Every structure is written in C-alpha cells, then in structure tokens.
A and B are shown apart, each in its own frame.
Chain A
Amino acid sequence: MIWLTWRQFRFPAAVVGAAAALLALLLLVVGAPAAGQQAVELLMADKTRVNAYTFVTIAMLLLPAVIGMFWGAPLVARELEAGTHRLVWNQSVTRTRWLLTKVLLIGGAAMAATVALGLVLTWWTHVIDDALIAGADGQGIAGQPRMSPVLYASRGIVPAGYAAFAFTLGVLLGTVLRRTVPAMAITAAVFAAVQLTVPPLIRAHLSPVTETMTVTGENLGGFLLDGPPEAGGVVKEVRVQSAQPGAWMIANETVDKDGNAVGEYPSWLASCVQPDPERMAPLADPACFKRFADLGYRQRVVYQPAGRYWTLQAVETIGFVLVSGALLGLTFFWVRRRVA
C-alpha cells in the first residue's frame, strides 16, 4: 500500500514540495532581518525583504488550501471518476486500510511540510516579533504583530492544523461528491470561509483579556470626527493606545456608565482635541476628558496578549486536528457504506 500511495502521490508531492522548498529558499537567500532596536525601521526601509516577507506570508495562507485542493480532493474522487476504485478495492487489502494508509502518509506529509515552512518563517521574523513586543512601531506588514489575524495563520505550528483540516475536508468532499473538480472548488471555498471566520468567531473568544480604563489626554490613541468641530462635526470613534505591544486588539470601544457600547458621543466632545500647531500633533484638553470620565464613560479594551501566542497556536492546532479527525471518520463511514 505504501508503494502504491507513493507511486500515485509522487507527482503532486513533487509539485507542492518544490514550491514549499522554493519559499524556504527565498527566505534563506534574502536572509533574516537585522536584529536590534531599529529592526522594524530597517525592515520597513528594505523593499526586498518586505516583498519576500509579504510573498511568503500570502503563500503560507494559501498553502493549506492548495493541499486540500490538490492532495485531498482527488484522493478518492479521482479513483471514483476513473472507476479504478473497483480495481484497487478488490485486491487483498480492505478499503479501510487502503484509505488509512493514504490519509496518514499524505496527511502526514501535508502537516510536516506546512509546519516546517511555518517554523522557517517564524525563525525569519523572530527579530521583528521581538522588536514589536518590545514596543516598536511600524507601518505595513513590518508593523503587524504576529498575533494579528492577517499573520497568525501563516507561521508557528498552526499551519499544520490548517493543512490537516483542508486536506481531510478535500478528501471528504471528494468522496461525497465523487467529482474531483467540484470537490476542489468547494474545498477552496469552505476553507477560505473557515480561515476568515475562525479569528473573529473562535480565536477572539478563547478567554481574551478585557480591561476597562478611563480615557485621558495621555492614553488617547484615536479620535475620529466626521468633520471639523466648528462645522458641527461629531465624534464617531474614540480609541486608546494599546498598553500591550504585540497584542491582537479585538475591541477598543467606549462604554457608558451602564457598560453599554456608546453609539453617540456627546457633541461637546468634538472640541476636546485641538490641533497643536507647534508639535504638529493634536492636543487633548485634560479637563474635557475629566468631564467625559465623570459622566461615566470608560474605554473597554479586549485583546489577546502577545504572551499567549504559543498557547493559542497549540490550542488552535489541536482543535483543527480534532476537526480533521472527525472529517476523516465521516470519510471512512462513507467509503465503507456509501460508495460503490
């Protein structure tokens, strides 16, 4: 069975394997960014590295979908389409063992490839991650902490979980739909939907830290008006600065004295922040914000702190592996009972 698995799998394995090796090589050739206090600034100025970083990150977010489409979906569907399942399931190997061997070998390869690449990217970015956690600021991808949803699934160990999920999803859909191309398309669509919904619907709720604080002139981080105060502009949004560098900020919202999110801010708040011509930065009026606080307005901040990165990575990876196991169980049921 191992021989047959390899014989059928070697071409898709070579294609995806070569692509993964090229990505790793790209990072190695470009070289990891320089360490130090100026790491983020240096990276931002280095177009080659920023491009390589962006490219590999996007590739890592797509890689599990590619594995699900090209390794998972055809695994059973192609046999059903060509009728070769009637050949191979009538050798002296039960179809359970046939499927188990294929899924373990190819699924294992999928997880190994993605986790290897995820760890290479982790190594490449670790000086940036350290700098951001130490409080550095930056623009673009260089300024994004690894906890942020856009980067989170691209490195660490969680790509292995996403790969296992995409692969088993592809295998199941291929088995149920019995057609390779529709199974590939639906695998990609479902995987993309899961990738987009896991951060807000699941990761955000894995016991995040919630803090409520008073807004002052000092911690004010954002103040959004829909027009100049003189022209009757009102405040649309108030944010505080993150005291937690490297965290994933899930919510940063004003609540009233009853703890409800504020829809409309008092109109006088608009004139609390004035442009300061000398410092080229807005100047907040402390008395004004004291009045705001005295009325019971507070700022509620919800975030996943930087220190929980590996815990969350482990939890999410295990979660995806469990879901993959369930999908696999369904596939086994289907292959044994429903397929002719």
Chain B
Amino acid sequence: MSTVALRADGLGKRYGKRFALEDCTLEVPAGRVVGLVGPNGAGKSTLLNLAVGMLAPTTGTISVLGGEPASSPAQLAKVGYVAQDTPTYAHLTVGEHLELGARLNPAWDTELAERRVARLGLSLDQKARKLSGGQRAQLALTLGVAKRPELLILDEPVASLDPLARREFLQDLMEAVAEHELSVILSSHLVSDLERTCDYLVVLVDSRVRLAGDLEDIVSSHVRLSGPRDAGHPGELVTARHTDVQSTYVVRYSGPIADPSWTVGQLSLEDIVLAYMERRTEPAPRALEVAR
C-alpha cells in the first residue's frame, strides 16, 4: 500500500486562457481523511477530476496511490469516486446499480453493498430517479465503498443535501472509513462539514493551494494578535487589519508570545480558513500593467 494518497507537482489545468488550477504542488498522506476546502470556483473539482483522471493536466504531473490516474483497470479499481451531484442512472433501479457495480468491479463486495442498501431503507426495485437527493447520494456512496477502493474521493457530496441528510451522510461515511481503513479525500465549500470528519486539510483559493496540513497542527499554529498599530508581528502573516491605533493580525506562528502589548486570541478552524480565503493574490500582475 502506498503511503502517499495523492502527489501533485506543478499541476495545472487551463481552460482557454484561464487556469482552473495553477502550480499546485501537494502531497497528501494515505490513511487520512483529507478535507479539501475553498470557495466556489477555487479549483476543488478540477483537482479531484485530475486525481481520478476525468481531466488530463495542462502542466505538471499528478499521481494517485503511486499511479497515473485512470491509466489502467487496476488503478481505477484502487480509487473510488463519488462525483459532484452524485450522478446515478435515472432509469436503473437501486438493484441494477448494485449489479452494475458488481459487474464492473473485480473487488466488489456484494454483501457490503446489500447490507448498506438495506440499512438505508432503499428498496432494490426502486428507480434511481424516484430517490431523494440524500438517498441518491447514499446510493452513489454505496457504489464507491462497495468497490472496496484504497482511496475514496468525494466531490462536494453533501452540497445539495439538507442539514439532516448532510449529517447522516457524513456520519455514514465515517463509519465506512473506520470499517474499511479507507483513505478519503473530501471536498466542500463549508468548513463545518469538514471539521467533524477530517484530520487533514487542504485550502484552495483562486486556483492555488494556500495551506495544507494536519488539522490539529493548523489550529494550534495560527493565532490572532492585536496590538499597537504597525508594531510588526512574529511568524508568517496571513491577514492584517488596521484601525487608527491598532493592528490585528492573523499569523502562522506557534511559538510563545511574551510581549505584553499583544493580545493573543485563539482561532477556530473556520476563522483560519476564512483568513486564507480573505488573503488576496499578491499584487504581482500590477507590475505588468504598469510596464504596458
């Protein structure tokens, strides 16, 4: 088993002139539940689609569990994918979806699939188009899990679900992860979805990776500092906010802060992620405009 779930090196995907994902260098360990968070349009789906081989990269390379995405049946078998909006065949029944999974996957776990469907209360001869959004998501997850992959990738699986269905789906996912020792990469634009489920986080903003690391490390290594204006700050600056007399910084810094003029505040994960989303791209393109 590979120790790296996903490795990207200078990875980029361009549509026309616009990069949906740019210069992405990233290493995600295996055996973790990885949350991929970022605002809408940040490139989350693009990164996941590159990881499952639905897209081919414009620049750089990506490998998943040590292999090129979707390059062979063996590679496909190792990676499960629950796509955005959890597509299913409207005219096929739940039972036929399981049949599809059984016929197209050598490692298919029939018993697991049937047990899950029974527990979810889905009738085998129900057409997929008659299912609710939550049930359809559960069916798609069942297909992904019963395939018995090493890595399960889920692209905004709960985005269209109501809060209750959302919670049930994520709980259910966590049970499957615990039971089958899956690595998981899960994307969402809501930190609250990921906070409960993930132990590793990747923040993607404006088609670039802003932050990646262990969830606990991220929370413990960021602080909010308030103090006299323009007094400077320790660590790496994430955001700064100034009033006439006071500056407030969010910094990445885990050392002790002895200076009594600073007020040190703890940040929740959501605060940290929002701070990274707030931080705009460096004004590098301006120089070009002046030159012109």
Check B76 against A87 for contact (C-beta < 8 Å).
Answer: no
Asked whether B143 is an interface residue with its Cβ less than 8 Å from the other chain, the reply is yes
Asked whether B99 is an interface residue with its Cβ less than 8 Å from the other chain, the reply is yes
Check B103 against A92 for contact (C-beta < 8 Å).
Answer: no
Asked whether A340 is an interface residue with its Cβ less than 8 Å from the other chain, the reply is yes
Q: How does the 8 Å CB contact mask read for B43-83 relative to A, with 1 for contact and 0 for none?
A: 00000010010111000000000000010111011011101
Asked whether A86 is an interface residue with its Cβ less than 8 Å from the other chain, the reply is yes
Supply 10 A–B pairs (Cβ within 8 Å), ascending by A: A3-B103, A4-B103, A82-B87, A82-B90, A90-B70, A90-B76, A90-B79, A91-B76, A95-B70, A340-B54
Distance (whole angstroms) from the CB of B87 to the closest CB of chain A: 4
Check B85 against A83 for contact (C-beta < 8 Å).
Answer: yes
Contact of B77 among A4, A7, A92, A97 (CB under 8 A): A92
B-facing residues in A2-26 (Cβ within 8 Å): 3-4, 7-8
Smallest Cβ-Cβ distance to A3: which chain B residue: B103
How far apart are the CA atoms of A7 and B83 in the complex, in Å?
22
How far apart are the CA atoms of A82 and B84 in the complex, in Å?
12
The 10 closest A-B pairs by CB, nearest first: A91-B104, A86-B83, A83-B87, A92-B77, A90-B81, A92-B105, A92-B76, A340-B55, A84-B87, A340-B54
Give B residues with C-beta under 8 Å from A. Answer: 49, 52, 54-56, 70, 72-74, 76-77, 79-81, 83-85, 87-90, 92, 96, 99-101, 103-107, 140, 143, 147
Contact of B49 among A1, A4, A340 (CB under 8 A): A340
B-facing residues in A86-105 (Cβ within 8 Å): 86-95, 97
Residues of the B chain whose Cβ atoms lie less than 8 Å from the Cβ of A95: 70
How far apart are the CA atoms of A29 and B10 in the complex, in Å?
70
Check A83 against B103 for contact (C-beta < 8 Å).
Answer: no
Contact of A86 among B74, B77, B81 (CB under 8 A): B81
How far apart are the CA atoms of A93 and B147 in the complex, in Å?
12
Asked whether A337 is an interface residue with its Cβ less than 8 Å from the other chain, the reply is yes
Smallest Cβ-Cβ distance to A338: which chain B residue: B56
How far apart are the CA atoms of A97 and B76 in the complex, in Å?
13
Residues of the A chain whose Cβ atoms lie less than 8 Å from the Cβ of B55: 340
Contact of A92 among B83, B84, B87, B106 (CB under 8 A): B106
How far apart are the CA atoms of A7 and B101 in the complex, in Å?
13
How far apart are the CA atoms of A305 and B147 in the complex, in Å?
62
Residues of the A chain whose Cβ atoms lie less than 8 Å from the Cβ of B77: 92
Residues of the A chain whose Cβ atoms lie less than 8 Å from the Cβ of B52: 90
How far apart are the CA atoms of A90 and B101 in the complex, in Å?
10
Known: A4-B103, A90-B83. A84 touches B76 (CB 8 A): no
Check B76 against A93 for contact (C-beta < 8 Å).
Answer: yes
How far apart are the CA atoms of A91 and B87 in the complex, in Å?
13
How far apart are the CA atoms of A82 and B83 in the complex, in Å?
12
Check B104 against A93 for contact (C-beta < 8 Å).
Answer: yes
How far apart are the CA atoms of A88 and B83 in the complex, in Å?
11
How far apart are the CA atoms of A171 and B168 in the complex, in Å?
40
How far apart are the CA atoms of A7 and B89 in the complex, in Å?
11
Q: How does the 8 Å CB contact mask read for A66-92 relative to B, with 1 for contact and 0 for none?
A: 000000000000000011101111111
Check A337 against B103 for contact (C-beta < 8 Å).
Answer: no
Chain A interface bracket (under 10, 10 to 19, 20 to 34, 35 or more): 20 to 34
How far apart are the CA atoms of A86 and B45 in the complex, in Å?
12
Check A84 against B105 for contact (C-beta < 8 Å).
Answer: no
Check A89 against B87 for contact (C-beta < 8 Å).
Answer: no
Contact of B100 among A89, A91, A337 (CB under 8 A): A91
Residues of the A chain whose Cβ atoms lie less than 8 Å from the Cβ of B140: 87
How far apart are the CA atoms of A86 and B80 in the complex, in Å?
11
Residues of the B chain whose Cβ atoms lie less than 8 Å from the Cβ of A8: 89
Residues of the A chain whose Cβ atoms lie less than 8 Å from the Cβ of B105: 91-92
Check B104 against A1 for contact (C-beta < 8 Å).
Answer: yes
How far apart are the CA atoms of A92 and B85 in the complex, in Å?
21
Distance (whole angstroms) from the CB of A243 to the closest CB of chain B: 60
Known: A90-B79, A91-B76, A94-B70. A82 touches B89 (CB 8 A): yes
Residues of the B chain whose Cβ atoms lie less than 8 Å from the Cβ of A82: 87, 89-90
How far apart are the CA atoms of A337 and B103 in the complex, in Å?
26
Residues of the A chain whose Cβ atoms lie less than 8 Å from the Cβ of B92: 7
How far apart are the CA atoms of A92 and B53 in the complex, in Å?
13
Smallest Cβ-Cβ distance to A91: which chain B residue: B104
Distance (whole angstroms) from the CB of A178 to the closest CB of chain B: 14
Smallest Cβ-Cβ distance to A2: which chain B residue: B103
Distance (whole angstroms) from the CB of A305 to the closest CB of chain B: 52
Contact of A337 among B56, B74, B80, B85 (CB under 8 A): B56
Contact of B89 among A3, A87, A91, A337 (CB under 8 A): A87
Residues of the A chain whose Cβ atoms lie less than 8 Å from the Cβ of B96: 7
Which residue, of A3, A8, A89, A340, has the highest number of chain B Cβ atoms within 10 A? Answer: A340
Residues of the A chain whose Cβ atoms lie less than 8 Å from the Cβ of B70: 89-90, 94-95
How far apart are the CA atoms of A340 and B84 in the complex, in Å?
12
Residues of the A chain whose Cβ atoms lie less than 8 Å from the Cβ of B90: 82
Smallest Cβ-Cβ distance to B55: which chain A residue: A340
How far apart are the CA atoms of A83 and B84 in the complex, in Å?
9
How far apart are the CA atoms of A97 and B147 in the complex, in Å?
18
Residues of the B chain whose Cβ atoms lie less than 8 Å from the Cβ of A7: 92, 96, 100
How far apart are the CA atoms of A8 and B101 in the complex, in Å?
15
